[in-house]
Amino acid sequence: EVQDLSPQRAVAIIDWPQSGRILDYCAGGGGKALAIAARSDAAIHVHDVNPARMRDIAPRAERAKVTLHPFDNTLKYDVVLTDVPCSGSGTWRRDPEAKWHLAPERLDDLTQIQAQIMDEAAALLRPGGRLVYMTCSLLCEENEDQVAAFLARHRGWSRTTMARFAPPEASDGFFVAAASITLTALLLFLSKRRARARDHALLVTAGKVAADDPVPVFCTDAAGAIIFQNRAAEDRFKDRLDQSMS
């Protein structure tokens, strides 16, 4: 599939899980979903608020020999990607006329939509999941400021990835960031669910999935975000969380 260099680079810097479920929440034509499928064996689900935008997904997936699953609001996801509607300022080099169509009022509307999408996406994540945020914008209001506002609204979350691609170094301007809940907040969440989860929380505070683990399977960074030894350790940890909450 032909795709601009910048979104390809943005997809490449995210460490996508190799199992579980990934949701492309603003899928459009499915370009990001197909790019993720080339890097992950996880089940890829797609959604768009306007289903008509996804009309090309089925033939593109068939051509790429990729299976994409429809969104299921009864499921929780390991990663939710939000490639949100934006000003498109990163594309103005090849579409200069577009900048004359962006008014301050429209930018305000877009930032409100972006914040709403991020909040909706966060609610679709399983405990320990990650939210990935992308725009084809170079405006701070839609990028760094939007991520900071999300973290302020969702206490206990930590940014784990952030990168900006400018036209001189890539092609279109593009922005990507990822965030996940910190270990402290995750354990607090578990402790409120049930006594069994509280017992499990005591085990994982030492970075171990089970009491008989010889070494910790994860540690935390300075902000308290979970850093796993490897993907297998991450998958095992999430399985144990599911068991604790069942």
pLDDT tens string, the chain, 246 residues long: the values are 677 889 999 999 999 999 999 999 999 999 999 999 999 999 999 999 999 999 999 999 999 999 999 999 999 999 999 999 999 999 998 888 888 989 999 999 999 999 999 999 999 998 778 999 999 999 999 999 999 999 999 988 889 899 999 988 778 999 999 998 876 666 665 555 543 444 444 444 444 444 455 445 555 555 555 666 666 766 666 666 555 544
Please state the φ and ψ torsions of residue 40, each to the nearest 5 degrees.
-140, 145
Instruction: Report yes or no: 199 and 243 within 8 Å, Cβ to Cβ.
Output: no
Query: 87 vs 5, 54, 142, CA distance in Å?
Result: 19, 21, 8
How far apart CA 58 and CA 202 sit, in angstroms, is 45
* pLDDT number for residue 167: 86
pLDDT of residue 186: 65
Query: Which residues are known to be catalytic?
Result: 136
pLDDT of res. 46: 98
Longest pairwise C-alpha distance within the chain: 62
- In whole angstroms, what is the distance from residue 82 CA to residue 224 CA? 23
What's the whole-model pTM score? 0.80
Cα-based distances in Å from 23 to 100, 113, 121, 215:
34, 19, 9, 32
Q: How far apart are CA 140 and CA 128, in angstroms?
A: 27
